[in-house]
Structure 1
Amino acid sequence: MIKSISLWSLVAFFLMACGETKEKKENTTESDQMEVAEAYTPDTEEELPTIVGIAVDNADFSTLVTALKSADLVEALNGEGEFTVFAPNNAAFDKLPDGTVAELLKPENKETLTAVLTYHVVAGLYTAGDVVQALKDNGGSFTAETLQGSRITFKMEGDKVVLYDNKGNAVNLIATDIKASNGYIHSVDTVLMP
């Protein structure tokens, strides 16, 4: 159970854990992906693009950008605010059953697509470093509410943090703490399902 720590503090703690985890990974593919994502993190606050700006500039988020456009969420994630986005990379979308992405992108499925995409967003600014303590303080597990309204569960498994969606799918972080002017992006290897 979550003790007297706010939900947002817990999410922040989770994301810190992810940052520590990525340093321990030895998998070349994941390391390469992290380097690509980190290459889009400018040195100063003034130079930072928005969450959407970073996604547009990173070819590995092209499917996500297409989905954001189809759901009319570009303006929301491009504007002021503080968001933490668990952004599925292209490989995450490729893991979905054949035809799923094409079906979600149809205008008649905009509501479903919006629900899926907003399930990847938490209000507030949360780095990976804050999550370690939250996991320690809460027995290695806690949940956070997404903008979609459902919760994501975070668990410490060995030396890494794993997210679980409402369908019970395990989702791994492959890059963390990609800073934007209006939040953070943490790249994930699986599409979260509400």
Structure 2
Amino acid sequence: MKINKLLLLGALATLSFTACKNDKKAEEEAEKMEMEAKAEAEEMKMAEEAKMAEMKKKEAEETSIAAVAMNSADHTTLVAAVKAAQLDVMLKTEGPYTVFAPSNDAFDRLPKGTVDTLLKPENKEKLTDVLSYHVVPGDVTSAKLTELIKANNGFYMLKTANDGELRAEINNAGNITLTDGRGKKSTITAADLDASNGTVHVVNTVMMRS
């Protein structure tokens, strides 16, 4: 009888040990599955975030200053110049920038052969300087520029991307004009063309720093 009790206790102990072992194994498997599920969820989240970031980047590029110019039939010469100077990449980036964009007519007013000369590979540095003179860091809308002009005794000096200056004023007709380094005036003919990385103002003259 005593032996039977011992056998019974032994069996119960064995069952108890086995059950604990099985419970621990099940617990470990559950933890492993949970970790794998979390890792998979994190991976999916990262993939979704990367996809969204790529979509936002593409959308921004499609509405960037470079895209605004490329979609304008009046700025084909400017676009060709920007590409030749390899500034199209910069004008797709976050910015913000304010670009005073000369129209095709503005380029046509330059002395004959000027554009062709500037577009030559050996004149890339000069072309870049000319184009950079039309770019102002920051987002300067016409309303903001008007405010700055009025607050500064009727003029405001804009600092360009190539460390030049443009003197902004308001003429008798109420239009904003820009005087370049040669003392020649350019008029904003279309203002506040919105872009994802700044603002574009159309001007009727190709401006020169000197």
TM-score range, shorter chain: 0.7 to 0.9
Distance (whole Å) between structure 2 residues aligned to residue 186 and residue 83 of structure 1: 11
Secondary structure at 1:74's aligned position in 2?
coil
Alpha-carbon shift at residue 94 of structure 1 (Å)? 0.2
Distance (whole Å) between structure 1 residues aligned to residue 171 and residue 93 of structure 2: 35
Aligned to 1:54: 68
Aligned to 1:125: 139
- Structure 1 unaligned spans of 5+: 1-44
Distance (whole Å) between structure 2 residues aligned to residue 111 and residue 46 of structure 1: 28
Aligned to 1:79: 93
Q: Deviations over 1:118-177 (max 9, x none)?
A: 000000111111122222211111201100111000112212221000011110111000
Aligned to 1:96: 110
CA contact (8 A) 1:84 1:123 kept: yes
Amino acid across the alignment from 2:203:
V
Closer, same or farther: CA 104–93 of 1 in aligned 2, 3 Å = same
- The answer to whether residue 192 in structure 2 is matched with residue 160 in structure 1 is no
Distance (whole Å) between structure 2 residues aligned to residue 48 and residue 56 of structure 1: 10
CA contact (8 A) 1:88 1:191 kept: yes
Closer, same or farther: CA 156–102 of 1 in aligned 2, 3 Å = same
Pick from 139, 143, 151 the counterpart of residue 137 of structure 1. 151
Aligned residues: 150
Secondary structure at 1:81's aligned position in 2?
coil
Aligned to 2:185: 170
- The answer to whether residue 160 in structure 2 is matched with residue 149 in structure 1 is no
Alpha-carbon shift at residue 48 of structure 1 (Å)? 6.4
Amino acid across the alignment from 1:191:
V
CA contact (8 A) 1:48 1:180 kept: no
- Which aligned runs of 4 or more in structure 1 are off by greater than 6 angstroms? 45-48
Larger relative contact order (C-alpha < 8 A, sep ≥ 6)? Answer: 1
Secondary structure at 2:183's aligned position in 1?
coil
Amino acid across the alignment from 2:113:
G
Amino acid across the alignment from 1:180:
A
- The answer to whether residue 130 in structure 2 is matched with residue 105 in structure 1 is no
Identity of matched residues, %: 44
Task: Return the structure number with greater helix share.
Answer: 2
Q: Which has the larger radius of gyration?
A: 2
